[in-house]
């Protein structure tokens, strides 16, 4: 995947990208939670949620941990 490759994602796939963003940042769930001001349980839920309930946190993880832009409603993730 190139740094500028764009992906159109339905909500169900945001969880996988949120996890990838955290891993790219080299953070544990606990470290990511601290950086985002949430608890570790919420990071775990965001990385596994496909219902959309944790969509805001998923997008924050991509944006704040990995520097990816996220645009909706079918989320376009731009890795930079």
Tens of pLDDT, residues 29-75: 999 999 999 999 999 999 999 888 998 999 999 999 999 987 766 56
- How many CB atoms neighbour CB 30 within 10 A? 12
- The pTM (predicted TM-score) of the whole model is 0.78
Q: The domain 6-78: what is its CATH number?
A: 1.10.260.40
d(Cα 65, Cα 23) in Å, to the nearest integer? 9
Angle among Cα 66, 68, 70 to the nearest 5 degrees reads 135
14-26 pLDDT per residue, tens? 899 999 999 999 9
């Amino acid at each position: 995947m190139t740094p500028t490759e764009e992906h159109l994602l339905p909500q169900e796939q945001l969880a996988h990208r949120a996890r990838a963003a955290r891993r790219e940042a080299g953070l544990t769930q606990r470290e990511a939670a601290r950086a985002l001001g949430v608890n570790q349980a919420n990071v775990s839920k965001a990385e596994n949620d496909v219902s959309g309930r944790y969509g805001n946190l998923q997008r924050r993880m991509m944006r704040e941990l990995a520097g990816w832009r996220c645009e909706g409603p079918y989320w376009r993730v731009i890795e930079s």
